[in-house]
Structure 1
Amino acid sequence: MNSQRRSKTIAYVRITQQSWQHGQIEGEVRASQYEWRFKWCFQRSHLWVHPTLGRALIYEALGRFLENCDYQLELGGDYQFTVRAEL
């Protein structure tokens, strides 16, 4: 398949809570008509995503984004990343 024709969706992330002492970040992620809440425990590399509806669509991509950017994310910040699928 041509790379220009691959489906993509932009996911929007907002950081709502952050605790460096506890090693975690919480926030919201929105992609297409879906919305989730997440908690990223970066000291243990553990990610929770709720609700379960559509979670499989975002889980891996959100995890990669958080692993790559967690120390750059700020409380109240708005971010985005690309999901290589049409949601």
Structure 2
Amino acid sequence: MACHPFPQTTAYVRIIAQSWQEGHIRGYVCAGEYQWEFCWQFKAKKLHICPALGRALIKEPLGRFLEAQDYQLEPGGDYEFVIRAKF
């Protein structure tokens, strides 16, 4: 019996702004053929993503990534993470 790996897509994140005083990180994320702009309000643990097209695909995995990495992310930085789904 052959072993089939999980489908996966790499998401690429670019941080464009960060404010510890205001409690947010802004950036872009793209995965597959989709691209979104996001604002992670880490003090309130709220994630806003635009546009709405495909938002349901990225919101949960991006939120997990940002919660785990928010203190290590810097403006101008490029990051990536793997999503266990094919976009």
Distance of 2:56 and 2:3 partners within structure 1: 23
- Segments of 5+ residues of structure 2 without an aligned counterpart are none
Distance of 2:74 and 2:21 partners within structure 1: 15
1:1-80 alignment, distance < 5 Å = 4-80=4-80
CA-to-aligned-CA distance 1:13-39 (integer Å, 9 cap, x gap): 000111010010000000010000000
Secondary structure of the 1:5 match is coil
TM-score, normalised to structure 1, is: 0.95
1:54 maps to a residue whose letter is G
- Segments of 5+ residues of structure 1 without an aligned counterpart are none
CA-to-aligned-CA distance 1:31-84 (integer Å, 9 cap, x gap): 010000000000010000100000000000000000000000000000000011
Which entry has the higher C-alpha Rg, 1 or 2? 2
Q: Report the identity percentage.
A: 55
CA-based RMSD: 1.3
Query: Structure 1 residue runs of 4+, over 4 Å off?
Result: none
